[in-house]
Structure 1
Amino acid sequence: MPTPTLGRIVLYRLSDQDASDINRRRKDAQDANPGAERTGVIVHHGNPAAEGQVCPAQVVRIFEPSDAVNLQVALDGNDHYWATSRTQGTDPGHWAWPEVK
């Protein structure tokens, strides 16, 4: 298995807590309605997140000698999710290498 390096793209599987945090943040942004005043404010907006959803993520920090990394997860919307101290695996809350076809 390759070693994660800065900037690499991996696949991250959202956990239930991740999805809850993302959906709450997006709901709070919509409820605040900052766009009503046309200030140019960009709010968190996108399709609902769900546990098990797989998203591309960029490695932004590596914790050595452990295999934990911090990720910027690209969501189905205009925002990202910062997933901290995540390890490789197949369960929700973990990242994996993309399949090579």
Structure 2
Amino acid sequence: MPEPTIGRTVLYRATEYDAQQINKRRKDAYQSGTDTEEDGTIAHVGNQVSEGQVFPATVVRVWSGGLVNLQVHMDGNDVLWATSRAEGEDVGNWAWPEVQ
């Protein structure tokens, strides 16, 4: 497999903690009404996230030992900053997309 480099697209598997934090931000936006504001306010909105869901992510920093920082593109208008993540198949890991 290739080495991860900045700008590459990989797949990220969400953890339970990731899901809780994303869903909380989205719930807070909905409950406060900022999800419908038309004054330029940007609220976290999107579909529910659960542990194990896979999302596309862009590598934004490469560390030694194969660890990377990712901007994970959620099914909504927000992103998740996943830091110091390793390659693998478990939750919290990233993987290369399958070649079609």
Matches of residues 27-42 of structure 1 in structure 2 within 5 Å?
27-34=27-34, 38-42=38-42
Give the total of aligned pairs.
100
Deviation of residue 88 (structure 1)? 0.3
Does residue 86 (structure 1) correspond to residue 85 (structure 2)? The answer is yes
Matches of residues 43-82 of structure 1 in structure 2 within 5 Å?
43-64=43-64, 66-82=65-81
- 2:78 maps to amino acid: D
Which runs of 5 or more structure 2 residues have no equivalent in the other structure?
none
Query: Which whole-Å deviations, capped at 9, do the CAs of 1:27-77 have from their partners, x for residues lacking one?
Result: 11222213555312121000000111000000001112x111000000111
- 2:44 maps to amino acid: H
Deviation of residue 97 (structure 1)? 0.2
Which runs of 5 or more structure 1 residues have no equivalent in the other structure?
none
| Partner residue in 2 for 1:3 | 3
TM-score, normalised by the number of residues in structure 2: 0.94
| Partner residue in 2 for 1:99 | 98
